[in-house]
Amino acid sequence: MRRSTLGSLTRLSLPHGAAAGNPRPVRRAVNRGPRAHTVGVSENAYVPATPGRLHWGHGLRRSGASVTRGWHEWVFTETGVVLTTVAGLPLAALAVWALARHRRATGATRGWAWRRSLAEVGIVYGTVPWVLMTTFPGSRAGEVPSRVILVPLQDLLTMDPGQIVGNLLVFAALGAFAPLRFAALAALPRVLALAGACSALIEIAQYALQLDRVSSVDDVLLNTAGAGLAALASRRWWRGRAGASSADRPAPVAPAPER
């Protein structure tokens, strides 16, 4: 069939040699770039090309795909996670304030309430985004076998500065805030042991799930080193807190005397 366009009308004619007295009505979709129209035609007839259900459904599918792709770019990419984390900083600050206010209402001292609340939010908000990015699969996830590098410093020599800094930051918040929140972790060796164990679990998960990522012992070393450096940076605030923390806790409320 031939198709010609005249203004907003579409003219379609039957093939040469078809019987003029018995034309065959035809319904077909005419695609014009991103728009699709459904028209009814007969021989030598002009029919307005009005949008039909096909256009509405096509647009809906395109809109759904765009929304899905937009969410994927914001949630399931490293850049999207970083931007979302930065944009959510006001909410994190609000969470710290709400927790501290609640603790103050229960009788806790001002310093204990704010320190405990900041540590709890800091551990979660500063660790979860980095751990999430370590679970993003590569382009050939599930198709290629998992790769493991167990020789120390072998993988480190091939990393660019961005990868090294990223590995140092994975458990930096955990190393900085965990000793403030948990008195049992107020010691550098314990912080290093916790960060090393968590990092090893991530590398094992990457290997078991075949995420097309390299499970490397150097990642564990860098993650642990980052937590240790952060713990040293915050040491002035958590050193000696194991014995003093009990004095800052809210005192138990005595029951009212019976009348």
Within-domain flag for 169:
yes
Token pair of 114 as six digits: 């704010």
Within-domain flag for 121:
yes
Residue from 148, 122, 117, 120 nearest 213 by CA: 148
Contacts of 48 (CB under 8 A, 6+ apart): 8, 9, 10, 39
Residue from 8, 45, 54, 9 nearest 26 by CA: 45
Domain that holds residue 121: 88-244
| C-alpha distances in Å from residue 43, one per residue of 32, 87, 200 | 22, 61, 73
Within-domain flag for 26:
no
pLDDT of residue 250: 55
Please say whether the beta carbons of 89 and 95 come within 8 A: no
pLDDT of residue 159: 92
Please say whether the beta carbons of 206 and 242 come within 8 A: no
Residue from 182, 159, 88, 185 nearest 128 by CA: 88
Task: Please give the full DSSP string across 156-175, using - where no structure is assigned.
Answer: GGG--HHHHHHHHHTTHHHH
Residue from 118, 114, 112 nearest 245 by CA: 112
Within-domain flag for 173:
yes
Within-domain flag for 120:
yes
Within-domain flag for 114:
yes
pLDDT of residue 201: 96
- For tokens 């695609």, the residue is 31
Task: Give the pLDDT of the chain (259 residues) as one tens digit per residue.
Answer: 444 444 444 444 444 444 445 554 444 444 444 444 444 444 444 444 444 433 434 443 444 455 455 555 666 688 888 899 999 999 999 999 999 999 999 999 998 999 999 999 999 999 999 999 998 888 888 888 888 999 999 999 999 999 999 999 999 999 999 999 999 999 999 999 999 999 999 999 999 998 888 899 999 999 999 999 999 999 998 876 555 554 455 555 445 555 5
Round to whole Å and give the CA distance between 127 and 1: 63
- For tokens 């320190």, the residue is 115
Helix, strand, coil percent content, the chain, rounded in steps of 5 = 60, 15, 30
Torsion over CA: 117, 166, 210, 142 (sign): positive
Within-domain flag for 210:
yes
pLDDT of residue 142: 81
Please say whether the beta carbons of 84 and 133 come within 8 A: no
Total number of domains constituting the chain:
1
Within-domain flag for 207:
yes
